[in-house]
Amino acid sequence: MKKGLLITLGVFGILILIVVSTIGWGVGKYNGFVTLDQAATSQWAQVENVYQRRADLVPNLVSTVKGVAKFEKETFTAVTEARAKVGQVKIDPTNITAEGLKKFQEAQAGLGGALQRLMVVSENYPQLKANENFLQLQAQLEGTENRIAVERKKYNEAAQEFNTAIKKFPGSIIAGMGGFSEKAYFKADEGAKSAPKVEF
């Protein structure tokens, strides 16, 4: 009788050990996904931060150019409208979908294009090239564009690490039960793959 009891207790102990180990593994995986999700969300906040920096520069840049180039109302309107569209597109950092990111990128590309047109217009006004305030704003805008590229790359790296982790088996089971879903990536703008034609 003692031998049967010891065997039963041993089997029961092994089962408890297996259950506790499995739960511990699941909790560890879940916590790992939370950590990666938070890293991607934090990096997304940095992306928004640098885009906001660019949007904040726009009114000062437009005012400076307006003071010199009074006849470029169409360009000023385009920049103002593009900036307003950027402000309307909001993304939930906990659920960055491909569709939401596409709308965000389109709005940002619209503002970028309008700013490029503004810079082209400014070339027609030599007094702007000598305006210290304009030159500082232009330099800040160029620096911000570089920061945007860097932060987008960092976000893509964080999203890739998260997406890879939630897709690997058997962790994908825990990810599915925990409600973790894939994060979208920034992609190159349309036409960025083909080099522009330069004719002389």
* Best CA proximity match to 111, nearest among 95, 87, 143: 87
* Angle 17-21-26 from CA coordinates, rounded to 5°: 150
Question: Long-range pairs for 81-84 at CB < 8 Å and ≥24 separation?
Answer: 81/114, 82/107, 82/110, 82/111, 82/113, 82/114, 82/115, 83/55, 83/58, 83/59, 83/111, 83/114
Per-residue pLDDT of the chain (200 residues; tens, 9 = 90+): 577 778 888 888 899 999 999 999 999 999 999 999 999 999 999 999 999 999 999 998 888 888 777 767 888 888 989 999 998 988 888 888 889 999 999 999 999 999 988 888 888 888 877 788 888 988 999 999 999 999 999 999 999 999 999 999 999 999 999 999 999 998 876 544 443 343 32
pLDDT of residue 96: 87
pLDDT for the residue numbered 199:
38
CATH superfamily, with its number, for domain 2-178: LemA-like domain (1.20.1440.20)
Q: Does this model's pTM top 0.85?
A: no
pLDDT of residue 195: 39
**b vs e for 166-185, b when ≥16 Cβ sit within 10 Å of the residue's Cβ?**
beeeebeebbeebebeebbe
Which run of H or of E encompasses 101?
Answer: helix 98-122
Q: What Rg do the C-alpha atoms of the chain give, in angstroms?
A: 26
